[in-house]
Amino acid sequence: MPTNSEALRLNLDYYRKQAKALLKAAKSGDTDAIQRLEAHSQTGGFVPALHDAQRTIAREQGFASWPRFKAFLVQSKLDFDGIATAFLVAALSDLKRAEEMLAAHPELAGAGLHSALVLGDSTQIEEAVREVPGFAKTKIGPRKWEPLLYVCFSRFAGGKSSRAAGLVETARVLLRNGADPNASYVDEHWPDSGLPCLYGATGLNNNPSLALGLLQAGANPNDSESLYHSTEHPDLVCMKLLLEHGASPSAINVLKHMLDREDLEGLRLLLTAGADPNQVNCRGETALHWAVWRGRSARVISMLLDSGAAVDARRNDGRTAYALALLGGETDIAAMLAKRGANTELSPLDRFVIEFATADPNESDRLPLAQPDMAGPPGGERLVPDLAISHRTSAVRALLAAGLPVDARGELGGTALHHACWKGYADVVKILLDHGASLAVEDEQFHGTPAGWFGHGLQNCHEGSGDYAEVARLLLAAGAKISDRDLPTGNVEVDAVLREHGLIE
């Protein structure tokens, strides 16, 4: 049942009064009221009437006209400001949730222009662009986005969705009527660069028809996002399309991102298109360093070497791909690199870590501990989170024994504990906690604690090797606080642990 305030919002008389109040304010000379009316007028220099005020109220709520808004309020029992907005948010972030809401409330399909945009109702949008001059470039809705952004970022635009074709046609309608194919928005988590429509079509939704329409309308294929994220889709269709339309494979980190998974065809396409295997990132890593760290196969390593990857390139911390292979336990890869001419010299610290990692656990305490001057060039401490990510338990133990800091930061500014919690590596979590890893430290990107990463990883990391129940036990025993918003988790084993500690019923 709606609350009294919700009932008020749903009451048609309430919106009628809003329209009358708007008209009265405009006639009295209120600048804001006049601007609101003029923004939704069909002609300039008009004398405002009640129907103008009603149309303004309707369009501010996401409807093309007052009759449509009125029909929606009368026919549906929805809390428009609540459920319709929640549906819009879900359509842009959680397809399953959006589909569930739509099944429960079919009326949402007619809940105004916002719903028409995310669902691909091209007929309604065609009418809107006819009725409202400049609609295709007008920032609307809760997010104050240009209409094309709602279309391209709608999760209903995914290539396998039954609504994908409608969204493609809706995009075409907007583009024909002046929509900017390079429209973008800024995500609060990534404030340094905008996320463009083309990224929504390619990297997010993997919809080549939608992407083609944007590219033909002038979308920039070198937007720093689209090609990078298109590598995440196994079918590579959008990646090929972007390359055909001039996307540069030398964009920073594109080749490395392709190496985040085993995909020989994707790697071949990028190298053939001109990707430089010796391009370095801020840590001085080449594609060869990255491939070894990510545990790629000998075939991938060979393809990089055959394409000119420098076998002895050194990262900023002085390590070669050969050293990284041994540190990561990839002895076969190390042997192959040596056969291809790699320098097999190792730093004192690396020799210690390798010896420690390969020693009998019962004998490892007899090994001489590394001295401070063995730490090597700046940046070497990042090995702790790097090897925690790769689940190199013995190597992590060795690095800590050598005196490297347990809370050193790695990817996204997270510590080894952040990454081990996210992946559910209970053995690594125990070692880190035993060495005093901080439970309160926040990562530099999302400002989450290790326990927060645990909750996120439980829901989103699907690599299959984590023991999240044991990680939960270790975190709780160490005094970690798990956010109430993550409870219950839906994981039977983890929820059993939480129940033992009285966190859920």
Classify 7 as helix, strand or coil: helix
Peptide bond into 488 cis (omega under 30): yes
Q: Provide the 3-class DSSP secondary structure of residue 145.
A: strand
Tell how strand 184-185 and strand 195-196 pair up.
antiparallel
474 within 8 A of 433, measured Cβ to Cβ: yes
Angle at 335 between CA 332 and CA 341, to 5 degrees: 145
Interacting residues of 109 by C-beta distance below 8 A, sequence separation 6+: 102, 115, 119, 121
Cα-trace Rg, the chain? 28
Q: Which of 427, 429, 490, 479 is nearest to 454 (CA)?
A: 429
Tens digit of pLDDT at every position of the chain (505 positions) = 334 344 434 457 778 888 899 999 989 989 888 888 888 775 555 678 888 888 888 888 777 778 777 777 665 554 556 778 888 989 999 898 889 888 877 888 888 888 999 999 999 999 999 988 899 999 988 888 999 999 999 999 997 889 999 999 999 999 999 999 999 999 876 777 789 999 999 999 999 999 999 999 999 999 999 999 999 999 999 999 999 999 999 887 899 999 999 999 999 999 999 999 999 998 899 999 999 988 999 999 999 999 999 999 999 889 999 999 998 889 999 999 999 999 999 988 888 888 877 766 565 555 554 444 455 566 667 889 988 988 888 889 888 887 889 999 988 899 999 999 999 999 999 999 999 999 999 999 888 999 999 988 888 887 667 899 999 999 999 999 887 776 788 788 988 988 898 887 6
Phi, psi of 195 (to 5 degrees): -105, 110
CB 451 within 8 A of CB 483: yes
Domain layout of the chain by residue ranges? 1-60
Q: What pTM value is reported for the model?
A: 0.76
Nearest to 201 by CA among 184, 176, 188, 186: 184
Residues with Cβ within 8 Å of 491's Cβ and at least 6 positions away in sequence, in order, are 458, 468, 469
Bridge partners, residue 184, by sequence: 196
**Kind plus residue range of the DSSP H or E element containing 196:** strand 195-196
Burial of residue 299, with CB atoms counted within 10 A of its CB: 0-12 exposed, 13-18 middle, 19 or more buried = exposed
Longest alpha-carbon distance in the chain:
91
Q: Which residue, 352, 387, 383, is CA-closest to 369?
A: 352
